[in-house]
Chain A
Amino acid sequence: MATVAEVNLLGAVNLALKRAMTEDERVIVFGEDVGVDGGVFRATDGLLQSFGPKRVLDTPLAETLIAGLAVGLAAQGFRPVAEIQFMGFIYATLDQMINHASRLRTRTRGRLTCPMVLRAPYGGGIHAPEHHSESTESLFAHVPGLRVVIPSTPADAYGLLLSAIRDPDPVVFLEPKRLYRQVSEPVEDDGTGVPLDRCRVRRAGSDITLVSWGAMMHETLAAADALGADGISSEVIDVCTLKPLDTATILDSVSRTGRLVIVHEAARTAGFGAEVAASVAEAGLFDLKAPVLRVTGWDTVMPLPRHESAYLPDAARIVEAARRVMAYD
């Protein structure tokens, strides 16, 4: 039965988990403090009560274990949804994700597979302590065999997470925690997934293409509003699935606008914006009327909260970049 609820992104994640666990008994949720406590952000609130301790497990404080458990369970036919409490703690999972989860299907020629989801809140903007604000999605986007999915709205968090859990391959699902409680919208809890591997056109426009994902989508949309007030029409693309990248949607947009600005909060060098820019350079160079610009976090260590706003891109920086791009005839 479908109900419509006004939820924020966190509530949407919670709804999707409940829906997935209801429809498929192979889905189990585990991680640090996800059970009794309902997760430090409450993403898993109520799951233990609804589904019991065999399907919602608090693990020891061990991130390598959490990812490794997911690989073992997935190979055994479960649909594990593992939570890493903050992205700053996710690096201990890299061996499991890169050496094992991403390649189990390949190295056994499909005999064993790894339909797991590794969820983690990521990104800055909530004045969190050290190691709680990083945005290192490109580490995972570089790895063949993985999917990297990042929602930017409650409805997409619901639909993309459902699709990620149903996907037969490993998905790293990164949740922009700055948006967890920032925006609410009606989400229909009818179990409909949002397709993976597709960029979403958030706003149609004709003069310039703005590409972003996660929390930066909202700065990007604010920038598009500001540009619109000056008569500049922005097409705004939400990448949603970074890996594999739907370059077709981005190239199609750039073929019409001829201008591209990419926005992400991760550090610039080898950030995922470089991949977007390179894809356009390879296949859409002659559509471009101006250089491609990136608005990103600086190539610095993610600062503690006092300098957080100096690090994170905002609408003003995006507008400035867009104006520079628009200055080319």
Chain B
Amino acid sequence: MASAADLDIHHTAYLGPDGEPLQALPESLSAPESLVALYRDMVFARLFDTRAIALQRTGRLGTYASLLGQEAVGVGVGHAMRAEDVLLPSFREHAVQLKRGVQAEEIYRYWGGDERGSDFAGPKEDFPVCITVGGHTPQAAGVALAFKLRGEPRVAVCVMGDGATSKGDFYEGLNAAGVWQLPFVCVVTNNQWAISTPRREQTAAETLAQKAIAVGIEGEQVDGNDVVAVAAVVGSALAQARAGRPALVECLTYRLGDHTTVDDASRYREDAEVSAAWQRDPVARLRLYLTNQAGWNKDREQALLAECEQAIERAVEAYLETPPEPVGSLFDFLYERLPEPLAAQRKALLGGDRG
């Protein structure tokens, strides 16, 4: 009989839902100013999200996937990453993208139907969002392999939802990370819902973190509504990965909004469940902690909200004022140089000869 693995899945939390510390905070995150910075990013992400939905409802943005309730995951992961690491996000991970330096107006542009939104001015090597669920996992293994082959101390961070862990490409990518001991961290934002399919119908596995065990890498769980826990645990995972030991971190959170702006979650889940989940709101939790422990008050809250609102207002203006891209762009990025046989099609598009 072989002893294959330690089957205990470690779970980490620092802040309870009421904002009370459950244990001493890690030293690197205990200073009030560090936590205020994380709080600011979470508030910014939420206001960004609220505004995105408002833009969509008023016909100024396309279909949009809300991050509501997942602010701590994105901000915690983004805080833990280094600038030189590479992020491969799924489509609901705006919070980590913002934290990485993707501009709010770029994300609005993308969801507003403009490819230029994925031409980030900031994190130049980060991938655009992956819409095909889980498809970015093998790509992240490729990015991580590139780092390993070049001997660079960088990590590929692949962020996905719970639904992705049911897919084969998720397993294939994770498996390669294990075989080759790649600098790879897989973050599963387990928000309990894949559109209308609840977590319990995705898998009979007790946790999603344990899927790491099958490929011989470490997997653990963290309270995904506790930004301190996310930042600390993902930070440790990144340090390990940089030393060639890949890991999976399952962040337990909840999708407080609809799947997207064209979804109506009331068709498949109970209001009571959503109300209960609001009791675990990651933003309120950190605010309570700061209020009780670090002198956070109404004035500071108001000032922060005003600052974030102004920044988002500027982003919205920049987005709405973006000059349209010429239609020739349909062809201009298809290949490095447009092949001769396609030149006639481009000319037909531009010349109005659509035949």
Q: Residues of A with Cβ closer than 8 Å to B?
A: 28, 54, 59-60, 62, 64-65, 67-78, 80, 95-96, 99-100, 105-113, 144-145, 168-169, 197, 244-248
Contacts and interface: CB of A to CB of B under 8 A. Distances in A.
Interface in B158-178: 168-169, 172-173, 175-176
B309 interface: no
B89 to A, nearest CB: 13
B141 A68 contact: yes
B327 to A, nearest CB: 14
B125 interface: yes
B268 interface: no
B116 interface: yes
Nearest to B121: A111
A54 B336 CA distance: 28
A68 B119 contact: no
B342 interface: yes
A76 to B, nearest CB: 4
Contact of B336 (A64, A99, A105, A197): A105
B291 to A, nearest CB: 42
Interface stretch (B8-16, B41-49, B143-151, B188-196): B143-151
B149 A109 contact: no
B128 interface: yes
A76 B141 CA distance: 12
B149 A54 contact: yes
A69 B135 contact: no
B125 A76 contact: yes
Given A99-B135, A169-B335, A197-B339, A69 B115 contact: no
B120 interface: yes
Contacts of B118: 107-109, 111
A68 B139 contact: yes
B333 A109 contact: yes
B340 interface: yes
Nearest to A101: B139
16 contacts: A64-B172, A65-B176, A67-B138, A68-B139, A68-B173, A69-B176, A70-B142, A72-B141, A96-B135, A99-B135, A105-B335, A108-B115, A109-B329, A145-B334, A168-B336, A244-B341
Nearest to A62: B172
Nearest to A168: B336
B333 A106 contact: yes
B341 A246 contact: yes
B270 to A, nearest CB: 34
Contact of A95 (B135, B140, B142, B156): B135
Given A28-B149, A99-B135, A107-B118, A72 B140 contact: yes
A248 B340 CA distance: 10
A297 B344 CA distance: 32
B146 A77 contact: yes
A121 to B, nearest CB: 22
A168 B340 CA distance: 16
Given A64-B168, A108-B128, A113-B336, 12 more contacts: A65-B141, A65-B172, A68-B136, A68-B139, A72-B144, A73-B145, A76-B86, A99-B131, A108-B119, A197-B339, A244-B340, A246-B341
B138 to A, nearest CB: 2
Contacts of A245: 341
A155 B145 CA distance: 33
Contact of B142 (A73, A109, A144, A145): A73
B341 A71 contact: no
Contacts of B146: 72-73, 76-78
A68 B335 contact: no
Contacts of A105: 333-336
Given A64-B172, A111-B124, A197 B143 contact: no
A69 B138 CA distance: 6
A72 B143 contact: yes
Contact of A111 (B120, B131, B173): B120
B127 interface: yes
Given A110-B119, A144-B334, A96 B339 contact: no
B333 A72 contact: no
B23 to A, nearest CB: 37
B132 interface: yes
A68 to B, nearest CB: 2
A141 to B, nearest CB: 12
A108 B329 CA distance: 12
A70 B333 CA distance: 20
A65 B168 CA distance: 9
A244 B127 contact: no
Contacts of A28: 149
Given A105-B334, A109-B118, A247 B175 contact: no
B341 A76 contact: no
A247 B344 CA distance: 11
